[in-house]
Structure 1
């Protein structure tokens, strides 16, 4: 077995608790050549790759989900990225999220009420999946009865059946992607004819330099929202509550010190991120450490791995109090020009879920079952 094969095997089998693997990788081979990418795990290298968009692009070659055009704003580099942020950011301001927070909290309690009398639940199936999906549909003004269809589609593009790697992902997911485009095309027509108080109607009404977003731009934003809203938040909730099950002292801390919750959410996102890496495309030959990320056949991938407490970082392994917490640049939600503008929406969901569920779900199993982790850690069963 080669060193590379051993690393990939460890990535697949160790996803339930990957931090030791990340630590060993950072200390032994911080710039590592994997089969499909050069993997970075040192803070300085990661920051360089994420900020130097002239060298490392977020374009479509970084992640192929069967989409026909770049997902907006995830696969758009600066300076074009900024014009979409100017439209999307106002839709997710703290005031706007505060307006929606009571609804999310009420929804959390309703979902817990459904299984509270039984004294048990499958956290993944009965909470982590339906909560963010319901919030997502409500935000965009889409019918709740379409939930099962959306769940099937997001798995079809993120984990396409029959795909064995990067090379055949597009063909495996393209058919499902086309169904997503067609659905949102009809949804946009409906919202144009019948405007309402939701994010999709607001995007349709928004303008850049006096011009509305094109139909293709709206579709590309909606495509990304589906993936971020239905998959990433679910996977994060799974990871969060498995951690709290394994560390009941921190669950008690959340209940006894609710003021630390915003910082705890940030720290959980950094420590328990379900996303194994952030992919970028080398736009020309670049040498990082002792490894060269070559621009071969048009592109080469550079993957920045999560880094639990990077060298030279003051960030602790766990939160202690608001006074000791700082911004987490190397976290799962890396604050770069390519970070999703919907951060406050998902943060609102995580905060409501953690504050309410941590106090009401008092017993949980620390041994869930996990599916194949790539591209994201995914819990199949969490009693």
Structure 2
């Protein structure tokens, strides 16, 4: 039997890939289910493989400490990554997820819908009066940040500073972080830990109806959760609770602006907002890939990936796999057969998925009601981020 040919290499930092990775993903999928990403790391390109591996116990999310130190240095950010549930395996992941999920349960999210509707309307009023807005700074960021602050019990007056530090921390969620971004991430972790720690002290004296209070209640009822775990996982849940939603709103809006036929369809039938949100998540997923640590050898496409290697589950590629989706390169706000993988899967299914879908449905319902919703200039991609994101989406509205 002949040895398999050399797998193609994927360069996520190629400017053409940053602008539009989907043609490159198609080339990689045609070549096979695996591609080379870097030393000791492979990318998984096809939907069936990514979906299966999201549930495979031979893969883990808990990396050796050295992995984080190579990525972000040996400061506070590295210690933070080693404590949050995103990078923990069972049983610690199960314990942390069970407790943190109290903030994002469907029951809690349903109670928030009227607040989200009022908040979206409030944010759109000045824009309608002015006739234009930048969706990124005036809607996509303030909406989910204010919602998650309410869930967490973070006071409104500190929202903007919390957001700024959380964004700096977010830039460290990548394989290799530059020196400047490392320093900003370390500063962000120190500030956020101190701020959340002070709020925890306040809740110990006086409970509220928020995540911090629920975590303290759980601690007192016997669940094992250290002070550092509460602080760091609250910081992570805050970040995770708004970051994906921000980019889903902006990439979805940009998709509609580029496909006026689908905008007209949504305007004619606003009952499609639910399927539209999932289509936006499939079309241009905010998180394009998730890394997993290989604990036992895995065979994929005739190749064996050895223990100690890293597999990157390429969600963005999987969501455009013609083997699973009909006409994947066509935006379809009414797509019903849509098993996209934008929220992950298995034990690491995104905690905030229900909340993100609800916020997205409200936003796109309101945008579809506008008599005027059109581009007011070119969109600008955000490049200094591990996410598919926009720095600016200027629109005319009315």
TM-score w.r.t. the length of structure 1 is 0.85
* 1:364 aligned residue: 375
Deviations 1:256-289 (A, max 9, x none): 2222222221221122212121111222454433
Aligned match for 1:52, one of 56, 63, 66:
56
* 2:336 aligned residue: 325
What's the secondary structure of 1:25's corresponding residue? helix
* 2:11 aligned residue: 7
Q: 1:301 to 1:90 in 2, by over 3 A?
A: same
What's the secondary structure of 2:311's corresponding residue? strand
What's the secondary structure of 2:85's corresponding residue? coil
Following TM superposition, by how much is the alpha carbon of 1:35 offset from its aligned partner in structure 2, in angstroms?
A: 2.0
Worse overlay, 142-151 or 80-89? 80-89
> In structure 2, how many angstroms separate the alpha carbons of the residues matched to 1:186 and 1:291?
51
> In structure 2, how many angstroms separate the alpha carbons of the residues matched to 1:195 and 1:285?
48
Root-mean-square deviation over aligned CA pairs: 3.1
Q: 1:17 to 1:288 in 2, by over 3 A?
A: same
* 1:21 aligned residue: 24
Which consecutive aligned stretches of 4+ in structure 1 deviate over 6 angstroms post-superposition?
Answer: 3-6
> In structure 2, how many angstroms separate the alpha carbons of the residues matched to 1:164 and 1:215?
28
> In structure 1, how many angstroms separate the alpha carbons of the residues matched to 2:234 and 2:135?
27
Deviations 1:218-247 (A, max 9, x none): 113212113213422212211110001111
What's the secondary structure of 2:132's corresponding residue? coil
What's the secondary structure of 2:348's corresponding residue? coil
What's the secondary structure of 2:54's corresponding residue? helix
Retained in 1: the 8 A contact 2:127–2:133? yes
Aligned match for 1:345, one of 334, 355, 360:
355
TM-score w.r.t. the length of structure 2 is 0.82
* 2:287 aligned residue: 275
Worse overlay, 196-205 or 151-160? 151-160
> In structure 1, how many angstroms separate the alpha carbons of the residues matched to 2:228 and 2:338?
35
Map 1:1-383 to 2 at 5 A.
7-10=11-14, 12-35=15-38, 37-53=41-57, 55-60=58-63, 66-69=77-80, 70-159=82-171, 165=176, 173-206=185-218, 210-211=222-223, 213-289=225-301, 291-295=303-307, 299-305=308-314, 306=316, 307-313=318-324, 317=328, 318-319=331-332, 321=334, 325-326=336-337, 328=339, 330-360=340-370, 362-365=373-376, 367-372=378-383, 374-383=385-394
Retained in 2: the 8 A contact 1:275–1:377? yes
What's the secondary structure of 2:293's corresponding residue? strand
Following TM superposition, by how much is the alpha carbon of 1:319 offset from its aligned partner in structure 2, in angstroms?
A: 4.3
What's the secondary structure of 2:11's corresponding residue? helix
> In structure 2, how many angstroms separate the alpha carbons of the residues matched to 1:6 and 1:68?
29
Retained in 1: the 8 A contact 2:8–2:31? no
Retained in 1: the 8 A contact 2:247–2:389? yes
> In structure 1, how many angstroms separate the alpha carbons of the residues matched to 2:153 and 2:221?
26
How many residues are paired up?
A: 373
Say which structure, 1 or 2, has more relative contact order (CA 8 Å, 6+ apart). Answer: 1
What's the secondary structure of 1:68's corresponding residue? helix
Deviations 1:158-210 (A, max 9, x none): 225xx992586766633322222222111111122221122222222235983
Retained in 1: the 8 A contact 2:34–2:45? yes
Q: 1:76 to 1:326 in 2, by over 3 A?
A: farther
Specify every segment of 5 or more residues in structure 2 that has no aligned partner in the other structure, as ranges: 1-6
> In structure 1, how many angstroms separate the alpha carbons of the residues matched to 2:389 and 2:321?
25
